[in-house]
A and B are shown apart, each in its own frame.
Chain A
Amino acid sequence: MDISISGPKVYFAIHTPWFSINITQTTFTLLFVSLAVIITAYFLTRKLDKRKPKGLQIVVEKAVGMLYNLVESTMGKHNIRFAPYIGTLFISSVCCTLIGMTGLFRSATADLSVTLAWALATTAIVWYSKIKNFGLKGFLKGFTEPVVVMTPMNIVSEIAQPLSMAFRHFGNVAGGSVLTTLIYAALSLLSHAVFSWLPEAIAACMPPIFTAGLPAVMSIYFDLFSGFVQAFVFSLLTMIYIGEANPPPLEEKNESKKEEKSN
């Protein structure tokens, strides 16, 4: 029995004179998840009742309210405009991870390309915010703090930030799927071993009975729980990094206070 652990399957490639595009399982997963999420969101928010919310509307409102509360408590009230981005990231992450449980799709987050893309998107926002808030000079000067000797370290940590985020998410999901695969294989081997005393023709027909049960429990942890936790961690890290790049407008507040006092 051989177990193959591989990356996403490549369905087809589009070759151009300059480059070739590989269309993989991940591409389809991403497309499907996006469509499903958009359609779900459309149907969930089609009939919003202000006075008497009921059914799913309550759940949706609760979720959105929690998101905004979390963003406000983590990043501050001034950064509330990032809440939709964080929410999108969280929903994408959860859906792309959990869709692997259906067996029809490969988890998109088990592809390093996806998690790296999301992490780099966060980094792009962080850099953009820093340049906008502190100016290009201030952004570059930030690397030499607290002392000039630390500059290489700072550059390394800046690069490590998205890499660690991407690898953490990817590693957890991919590792979970690898573990599940391994456990499946081990359990079916065990089943075969148990049925080995039967005539070979009958033993071949026996289902690998041990594969029912334990993998389900493992899957609840490795796919469902870990999927949510990793999505949460990824979103939380994004919030923290973006929040750091967008400090609260202290000076303006002080100025306005002074003005109030003088008035």
Chain B
Amino acid sequence: MGFEVFLDKFESFVGVNFWTMIFAWCNLIILYFVLRKLLFKPVKKMIDSRQEEIDGMYYAAQKDKDDAEVMKKEYTEKLKVANEESEQILKNAQRKAQLREEEILKEANVKAARTLERAREEVELEKKRAVNEVKDSVSDLAISIASKVIERDINREEHEKLIDEFISSMGEENDTEK
């Protein structure tokens, strides 16, 4: 076992030193394991996990978007149905109101007609009564005239005069009545 230090010794320019090769291999292997553990694997893992996270986010966002679209569709549908329903209700109410209106009008018409009828009947009755009264008074008159005639001795002229008188008085009476 010896140890020798050289001050001015060079290897050949194109030559192979087996021990240098061994060193190179050792370095390569050590560097490989260290760099794999220290550099490549953690960085690659980080890139992959980030990619995964981004993919997951995109996926979630897409899913949310799809869900929202479905919901939107659903709500639009619902809104449409609600609109239709409200329209229906309004229409129904309108129709009912119209029916009611017509009914009321009809009723009012009927009532008015009835009132008119009654009034007419009353008028008729009144008329009849008036006629009857007139008839009564005429008969009274006739009787009173007759009694007067009987009280007096009546001659032809007197008779006629009486009737004229009477009629004229009646006319006066009528006039005054009017």
B residues less than 8 Å from A230 (CB atoms): none
A6 touches B46 (CB 8 A): no
Binds A, one of B22-30, B94-102, B154-162, B170-178: B22-30
Docked Cα-Cα span, A22 to B23, in Å, equals 11
- Residues 1 to 60 of chain B near chain A (Cβ within 8 Å): 1-6, 9-25, 27-28, 30-32, 34-36, 38-44, 46-47, 49-50, 53
Sorted nearest first, the 6 A-B pairs with minimum C-beta distance are: A7-B11, A117-B24, A15-B2, A113-B20, A6-B10, A84-B36
Within 8 Å CB of B14, what residues of A? Answer: 7, 112, 170, 174
B interface residues with partner A (beta carbon < 8 Å): 1-6, 9-25, 27-28, 30-32, 34-36, 38-44, 46-47, 49-50, 53
Contacts of B32 in A (CB 8 A): 84-85, 88
Q: How many A-B residue pairs have CB under 8 A?
A: 155
Q: Is A44 an interface residue (CB 8 A)?
A: yes
* Interface pair A111/B20, CB less than 8 Å apart: yes
Please report whether the interface of chain A is mostly helix, strand, loop or mixed according to DSSP: helix
Q: How far is the CB of A15 from chain B (nearest CB, A)?
A: 4
Q: Count of A residues near B, CB < 8 Å?
A: 57
**Are B39 and A44 in contact, with the CB atoms below 8 A?**
yes
List, in ascending order, chain B residues with CB within 8 A of A174's CB: 13-14
- Which of B18, B44, B49, B50 has the most C-beta atoms of chain A within 10 angstroms of its own C-beta? B44
Q: Select one of A10, A12, A83, A113 contacting B40, CB under 8 A.
A: A83
Contact partners of A50 in chain B: CB under 8 A:
46, 49-50, 53
Q: Is A87 interfacial (CB-CB < 8 Å)?
A: yes
